[in-house]
Amino acid sequence: MMMERLASSLICEEILGRLDLKTLCTVACVSRSLRFSVDYEVLPFLSSLHLPPSFIPDSSSLFIILSRCTRAGTLTLTTLTLNCQRLRDSCLTRFLGEQLQQLNLSFCSFLSYGFLVSIGENCPFLRVLMLEFAEQGSPDLFRRTLADMLFKCHLLECVCLKIKGTEVDARAFHFIDLFLPSTLKILKLKPTLEVNAIRLARQLGTGQKLSAMEDFSIPNSPTSYRFALQNLSLVLDVISDRLLVSITSSLPLLVELDLEDRPNKEPSPQFDLTNSGLQLLGSCYHLTGLSLIRSRKNYQGSFKQINDMGMFLLSESCKSLQSVKLCGFSKVTDAGFASLLHSCQQLKKFEVRNAILLSDLAFHNLTGVSSSLVEVRLLSCNLITSETVKKLGSSRSLEVLDLCGCKSIANSCLSSISCLRRLTSLNLTGADITDDGLSILGQGSPPISHLCLRGCKRVTDKGISLLLCGAIAETLAALDLGYMPGISDSSIFTIVAVGREITELCIRCCFYVTDSSLQALATKRSFQYGNKQLRQLDLFNCIGLSADAVRLLRKPLFSGLHWVGIGQTRLVIKGGAILTEICNERPWLTVCSDGCEMGCHDGWQFHRSESH
């Protein structure tokens, strides 16, 4: 009897206690004894629960899950991560408590600003808070509820607050600096105004209130700092020199700085970022991560006051950078970007977007540089060709290679990619590759789990067959074949036959995919041993699907599906009552009738109904 108890204890602590929720649920189905162990000896003692973003619970599902994580009627979780796309204040408030130290709530379509008050009242020991709201108007109400929450949660070390919408009022975080706890180390806000960000930086550095007429361009020189802020991330109306003056003079302990602006019009030269502003970053001696992005809003924006000299100054003053992310530097040439690659000897992540002057020359001599790179992302850099990829082919550490929008990438570099022994993610969106190139990639041995071939118009069904006949079929979990006119049912049949690990599949705008493909995808998991179930499927604008195909979304088919996009297909036309029935019988399934990308990551804020 003692041995049996010891064995049970070891199983719970050393085996079951190390599994995630999904695996625990699978184990519980094996036998009654294992279900008893999971329900009464594991779940009530869990300290953290991280539900994947693809799983979108409704109120009843969440109640069932969290009620299992209670002991003596009290929730035991100290960390909770949820996709709240279907949840309202009432179903979440009941689970808030003093034990919570970390709360990550994303896609909060229906949560009101008043939920902040509930957090403040029930979670006084909270240390990490991440909230992603949908726009609701009334910035004054948001400021009041936010101030109330921050005043009561005085131990917060990480605050990440985002408000998404088309007409978000950037004044929502006005005067937030007056209420932030002194324990704060990480702060992320979206969106805010430059003038408010300057005030925030000065307040975080000195703790002194600033008058409205104070000259923001004059740096303060505090002898001590109120906050030990290490990570600052802001989305603003404009990034300027005077903003960097305030940040670098007030927050010298910064380890990561992430700034993105979305100006409505071209900033005037005196209120823009210049070479001098970049040089100021050298005073942040601990800086290892830097992201500077100018996004398009109403026009194609760029930092027109910055050229190669600015990059030279940055590379010389910030040699400890390990991560660099740049977008909108239209006047920087190969020399400027190359200076970063060669000066920052510890560089692991290098991302450049929309660099119209970046070419293969920047990567000409990567000896000793490429060995440290783990992630390389070159997005919409039209002058980048296969020669750059060949230079990266000698890397022993590269795990992520993103060449989205680099249209000159061709078959000639795929043999180099095939030699990357640690590559797990590859994006070839819009590349000029063919079936022969995919054959080369399929013969390689990199453990690629995420592959995007979107918009590769010269690839046909034959190429997909040649790709998946190799070792990649054993590792590939996510595959994007969107906007590929050469893809038909034949490719889907190949995926069904050999893509055992694939759980995410995008075939949006593949016009020659028919009901036969959907039927094959719906049933493949039930008759083939070892296959993983599809979690997400994007069928947007697959005009070859008939209206009757909607029946394939009903039980028991697609038993593991969490998200499916059916926008601009006949399934929506047929939908109506049938889609409502499907959503009712499968409460964990999100049926998106809009044009959202996989998982509604960039469209959830516009969904105002439970069934989308």
Tens of pLDDT along 546-571?
A: 999 999 999 899 988 999 999 999 99
Q: 359-476 and 500-602 share one CATH topology?
A: yes
- Determine the CATH number of domain 359-476: 3.80.10.10
Residue that wins the pLDDT comparison between 13 and 198: 198
What digits encode the pLDDT tens for the residues 62-120?
A: 888 888 888 767 778 999 999 998 899 999 998 899 999 999 999 998 999 999 999 99
Please classify residue 457 by burial: count the beta carbons closer than 10 Å to its beta carbon, then call 0-12 exposed, 13-18 middle and 19+ buried.
middle
Say which residue, 45 or 344, is predicted with more confidence.
344
Residues contacting residue 137 through CB under 8 Å, at least 6 positions apart: 169
pLDDT digits (tens, 9 = 90+) for 21-30: 666 666 656 6
Return the pLDDT at 40: 58
What are the structure tokens assigned to 345, written together? 């000897």
The correct answer on CATH 3.10.129.10 for the domain covering 500-602 is no
Cβ-based neighbour number of residue 472 at 10 Å:
26
| pLDDT grade for 41, boundaries at 50, 70 and 90 | low
Tell me how far apart the alpha carbons of residues 121 and 199 are, in angstroms, rounded to a whole number.
Answer: 28
Residue-level pLDDT at 1: 41
The Cα 435–Cα 414 span in angstroms is: 11
Asked if 91 and 113 touch (Cβ cutoff 8 Å), the reply is no
Q: Does the pLDDT of residue 315 top 70, yes or no?
A: yes
Q: Is the pLDDT of residue 527 over 50?
A: no
Q: Where are the domains of the chain?
A: 12-43, 359-476, 500-602
Residue 602 has pLDDT above 80, yes or no: no
pLDDT-based confidence at 612, cuts 50/70/90?
A: very low
- Whether 328 contacts 296, CB under 8 Å: no
Q: Is the pLDDT of residue 603 over 80?
A: no
Residue in the structure block whose two tokens are 């006005």: 174
Torsion of the alpha carbons at 207, 211, 213 and 219, rounded to the nearest 10: -10
Residue pLDDT, tens place only, 428-447: 999 999 999 999 999 999 99
- Residue 136 has a pLDDT of 80
Total-model pTM:
0.91
Give the whole-angstrom CA distance, residue 385 versus residue 236: 33
Contact 339, 317 (CB under 8 A): no
